[in-house]
């Protein structure tokens, strides 16, 4: 081993001691907060669905056609590319760095929009006890205060990892378990079957379902921080699916079965009122406290993923090196500030407006991910897949068909305003890429990652796209991922072509 290799090993060992890897239970909690965080925000599905029936059916059926396929695709690709950056790497491997950058920009913007929901949700719960938060004079300072406080916590390294995340999840879900038990004597099954199709808001219904059951791929941006990802990721995703679906269905079954409230009252924050009607004021306050803790977890988890995504893109050479700069606490400072700025600008919008915008952008990104999943199956059948979805190429394609149709449906139901806003975001992404390439060529900004024009000599038996996008190959799992070429010469020729594509970023 050369001197550089020894130095790299020493650095990796030191990094491993400084940043302990995520194990199964903490990763389940992290995915839980990326996707759900509890039933806060699902109330609107009852209103939009014209009653309990469509809401309950939605949370039974949608996980089968949406959540499970997305989780399976994430498990395969995250274990094949166990590096920070997640889906940016997958898209770059399948379609090149241009589309990898577009995917990263769309998903980051969607993530920032998603994060803007949590201060709004928090105040929507508080306004049931403190009506002053209905007034903008109190609402705006409160939104700013919450955003600044949570951003500072993220800067200080308060990540939703380890067993603290598990404790936070338990605290957030406990009042709903109590509410479900107290509601049993009052349950009337016929109330679950109520639906008024004249009051159904299909756009709001599908957006609510989609938002509450997406972002399974978000944890992939931290794949490099997971211990033994080939085994941990699939188990964690399965466990998170069970926890998320249960956290929605149990409170909804309790609230709609025990109360005869009109569907119009079921708006975000209404579970606090449900708790009071079933258990009393003490349960209402407990649910509001749980909402506060849940929003803390949701905000921190989302901002961590968004920030580490920008950090990963910077390490790939897609963004200036300033986005990879870390504070003394090890957090990506500039990336956090960018995400926080976006949250502040978006927090003035209503819950439904934010929901529709982020869903549209997320849908475009997910369609690209499904396309990358299928293309890698066809073009790279020998790609090293520690976990593989148990279907051949045709079966894998069929797995992606129902969620893809759902994505198209969500996009078709979007308002004209959403089309316009999303169109502007897409155009900005398309223009930003060549600007960054030009800035790199002219050296207007520093880009740390310099991709080699030729593959290293010691990688003749396989070299991954991951190692082409990163300056350093950190472990054996990121080597040999694209080992399906028939010979070393053919492989070297292919790598030179790919390196030529990646070098456009330089």
Q: Are 78 and 86 in contact (CB under 8 A)?
A: yes
Has residue 384 been placed in a domain? yes
Instruction: Read off the pLDDT of residues 153-171 as tens digits, 9 standing for 90 and up.
Output: 767 664 555 566 778 788 8
DSSP string of 167-224, one letter each residue: HHHHHHHHHHHHHHHHHGGG--GGGGG---GGG--HHHHHHHHHHHT--TTGGGGBGG
Instruction: Read off the pLDDT of residues 283-329 as tens digits, 9 standing for 90 and up.
Output: 999 998 888 788 777 887 788 788 888 888 888 888 888 887 777 77
Residue ranges making up the domain that contains 309? 19-416
Residue 242: both structure tokens together? 């069970």
Rounded to whole angstroms, how far apart are CA atoms 24 and 30? 10
* pLDDT band at residue 19 under the 50/70/90 scheme: low
Q: Are 310 and 108 in contact (CB under 8 A)?
A: yes
For residues 188-194, give the mean pLDDT: 92
pLDDT at 498: 44
Listed residue (367, 390, 392) closest to 381, CA to CA: 392
- Is the domain of 205 the same as that of 271? yes
Look up the CATH number of the domain holding residue 215: 1.20.1740.10
- Number of domains the chain contains: 2
Helix (H, G, I), strand (E, B) or coil at 84: strand
Domain boundary among 388, 416, 444: 416
- Is the domain of 225 the same as that of 85? yes
Instruction: Read off the pLDDT of residues 391-445 as tens digits, 9 standing for 90 and up.
Output: 898 999 999 999 999 899 888 888 888 899 889 999 999 999 999 988 888 888 7
pLDDT at 506 over 80: no
For residues 121-136, give the mean pLDDT: 72
Within 10 Å of residue 206's Cβ, how many Cβ atoms?
A: 23
- Is the domain of 323 the same as that of 470? no
pLDDT at 461: 32
Instruction: Read off the pLDDT of residues 340-364 as tens digits, 9 standing for 90 and up.
Output: 887 777 766 666 777 778 888 889 9
Listed residue (260, 238, 239, 242) closest to 250, CA to CA: 242
- Is the domain of 242 the same as that of 320? yes
For residues 372-384, give the mean pLDDT: 92
Q: Are 219 and 14 in contact (CB under 8 A)?
A: no
- Is the domain of 379 the same as that of 500? no
- Is the domain of 399 the same as that of 500? no
- Residue 440 CA, chain-centre distance (Å), reads 29
pLDDT at 495: 41
Q: Which of 36-45, 158-167, 481-490 has the highest mean pLDDT?
A: 36-45
């Amino acid at each position: 081993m050369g001197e550089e290799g020894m130095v790299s090993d020493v650095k990796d060992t030191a990094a491993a001691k400084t940043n302990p890897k995520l194990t199964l239970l903490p990763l389940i909690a992290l995915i839980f907060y990326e996707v759900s965080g509890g039933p806060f925000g699902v109330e609107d599905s009852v209103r939009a669905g014209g009653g309990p029936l469509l809401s309950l059916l939605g949370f039974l059926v949608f996980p089968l056609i949406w959540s499970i396929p997305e989780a399976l695709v994430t498990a395969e690709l995250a274990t094949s590319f166990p590096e920070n950056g997640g889906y940016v790497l997958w898209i770059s491997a399948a379609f090149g760095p241009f589309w990898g950058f577009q995917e990263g920009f769309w998903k980051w913007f969607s993530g920032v929009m998603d994060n803007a929901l949590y201060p709004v949700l928090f105040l929507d719960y508080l306004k049931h006890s403190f009506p002053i938060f209905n007034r903008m004079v109190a609402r705006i300072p409160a939104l700013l205060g919450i955003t600044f406080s949570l951003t500072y916590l993220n800067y200080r390294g308060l990540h939703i990892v380890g067993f603290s995340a598990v404790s936070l999840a338990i605290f957030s879900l406990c009042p709903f378990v109590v509410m479900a038990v107290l509601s049993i004597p009052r349950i009337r099954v016929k109330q679950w079957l109520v639906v008024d199709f004249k009051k159904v808001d299909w756009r709001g219904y599908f957006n609510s379902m989609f938002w509450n059951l997406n972002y399974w791929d978000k944890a992939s941006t931290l794949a490099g921080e997971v211990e033994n990802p080939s085994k941990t990721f699939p188990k964690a995703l399965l466990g998170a699916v069970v926890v998320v679906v249960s956290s929605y269905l149990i409170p909804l079954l309790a609230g709609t079965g025990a109360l005869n409230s009109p569907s119009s009252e079921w708006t975000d924050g209404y579970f606090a009122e449900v708790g009071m009607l079933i258990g009393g004021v003490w349960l209402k306050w407990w649910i509001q406290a749980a909402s506060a803790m849940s929003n803390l977890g949701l905000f921190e988890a989302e901002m961590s993923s968004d920030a580490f995504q920008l950090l990963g893109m910077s390490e790939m050479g897609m963004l200036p090196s300033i986005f990879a700069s870390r504070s003394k606490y090890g957090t990506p400072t500039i990336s956090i500030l960018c995400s926080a700025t976006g949250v502040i600008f978006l927090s003035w919008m209503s819950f439904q407006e934010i929901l529709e915008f982020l869903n549209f952008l997320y849908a475009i990104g997910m369609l690209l991910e499904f396309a990358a999943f299928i293309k890698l199956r066809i073009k790279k059948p020998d790609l090293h897949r520690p976990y593989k979805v148990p279907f051949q190429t045709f079966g894998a394609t069929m797995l992606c068909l129902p969620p893809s149709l759902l994505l198209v449906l969500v996009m078709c139901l979007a308002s004209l305003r959403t089309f316009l806003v999303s169109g502007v975001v897409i155009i900005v992404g398309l223009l930003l890429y060549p600007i960054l390439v030009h800035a790199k060529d002219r050296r207007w900004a520093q880009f740390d990652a310099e991709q080699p024009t030729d593959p290293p000599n010691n990688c003749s038996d396989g070299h991954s796209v991951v190692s082409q996008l990163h300056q350093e190959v950190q472990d054996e799992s990121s080597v040999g991922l694209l080992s399906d070429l028939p010979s070393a010469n053919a492989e070297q020729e292919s790598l030179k072509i790919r390196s030529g594509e990646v070098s456009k970023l330089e």
